[in-house]
Amino acid sequence: MLYLDNAATTRRKPASVYAAMLKYQLWGGGNAGRGTNKLSVGGVRAVIDAQEAAAELFGVKDECNIAFTQNATYALNMAILGTVNKKDHICVSAMDHNSVLRPAALHGRFSVAAADFTGFVSPLDFRRKITNKTKLVVCTHISNVCGTKQPVEEIARAAHNAGAIFLLDASQSAGAEDIDMDAIGADIIACPGHKGLMGPMGTGLLCIKNPEKLRAVIVGGTGSESESIYQPESMPDKFHSGTLNTPAIAGLRAGIEFILREGAKNIGEYEKLLADKFRDNLLNMGVTVYGKADCGITAFNVDGIESAECAALLGDDIIVRAGYHCAPLAHKALGTDNGGAVRVSFGYFNTRRDVSRITDAVYEITKKI
């Protein structure tokens, strides 16, 4: 099997991730923070270790300001719906995922900064759309559809100049870009653990610069302040209601430590190298390629074939993603809103041989047209 859907989830993980999860299940397994027994305390230690690794990766000064979630969708919903009030305005981008667009639409008062045909969002259009009622500005760091990188530092400045909070969706950049919270100007960072961070499914995280400004939208048992019916304000308990997926968090810590050893920038550059080679191979092949080639993602369509049909023709042994990728406005910007696009996303464990194999497979399809 040739797996080229790493933008959805990295299928192959470092061996240390599997080992960390197995170790926790076999010799740990306590419910973190529920009691003072050895297993429960060990669960708390596993969470703290993961927080410390994530804080180092994202340049977060206080590791307590990192909360774990089920995935990036939960993290983004918590950040968006926990920030805005009824009369507040949200500004998002056309390249954002439905995990941003749908909570914004649920809130009701939002504007969309436009993207050009390459999937690039201009900070100028953000400045045009931001008003004196804008409480929150959200933008994806890298498009999950075409891989175009956004000028998030400038967008953050535009948000702060208007007194708004900037939320960075790092779903496609975490683990493949050097991300420093302060350098970017992000007030909140949301990302999954199962993609570039190489952790297991069922993991995500929020980095929150000022937790006092974010309401908890999911509340319940935290193992702390149990004598009170009100949600704790202390971090990370404020956002850690219910039993945590501690075995997966232990695996996520191992994934982040792998990123720290290898270097996020090195990983991203290698993935981009594979994608660049693939894009070059597609030239003069009757194929339309989208985006700005900023990362390991390549979106394309074979002329005359819908994306779903192309993916089917690649066969069951080549795993790619076709369709709309949960980002309808991005496809409108790219001009692919009638059928979507085929997305090939390379990971750190893919090889140049994989590039040759997917190239040959696409070429065989073009010969049949």
Domain locations along the chain: 2-9+263-367, 15-262
The amino acid at residue 74 is Y
Structure confidence by residue, pLDDT tens digits, 20-53: 999 999 998 889 989 889 999 999 999 999 999 9
Question: Whose structure tokens read 């219910």?
Answer: 242
DSSP per position, 36-103: SSHHHHHHHHHHHHHHHHHHHHHT-S-GGGEEEESSHHHHHHHHHHTT--TT-EEEEETT--HHHHHH
- Kindly indicate whether the domain formed by 2-9+263-367 is annotated with CATH number 3.90.1150.10: yes
In three-state form (DSSP H/G/I as H, E/B as E, the rest C), the secondary structure along 13-49 is CCHHHHHHHHHHHHHCCCCCCCCCCHHHHHHHHHHHH
Question: Whose structure tokens read 């975490």?
Answer: 174
For domain 15-262, the CATH architecture is 3-Layer(aba) Sandwich (3.40)
Structure confidence by residue, pLDDT tens digits, 64-106: 999 999 999 999 999 999 999 999 999 999 999 999 999 999 9
Position 35 scores a pLDDT of 87
Structure confidence by residue, pLDDT tens digits, 244-289: 999 999 999 999 999 999 999 999 999 999 999 999 999 989 899 9
DSSP state of 225: S
Three-class secondary structure of residue 129 per DSSP = helix
Structure confidence by residue, pLDDT tens digits, 164-202: 999 999 999 999 999 999 999 999 999 999 999 999 999
Question: Whose structure tokens read 């059928």?
Answer: 339
DSSP state of 191: E
Q: Which token pair is 254?
A: 């191992």
Q: What is d(CA 245, CA 242) in angstroms, rounded to the nearest whole number? A: 10
Considering the entire predicted model, what is its pTM? 0.97
Per-residue pLDDT band for 369 (boundaries 50, 70, 90) equals: confident
Q: What is d(CA 74, CA 98) in angstroms, rounded to the nearest whole number? A: 12
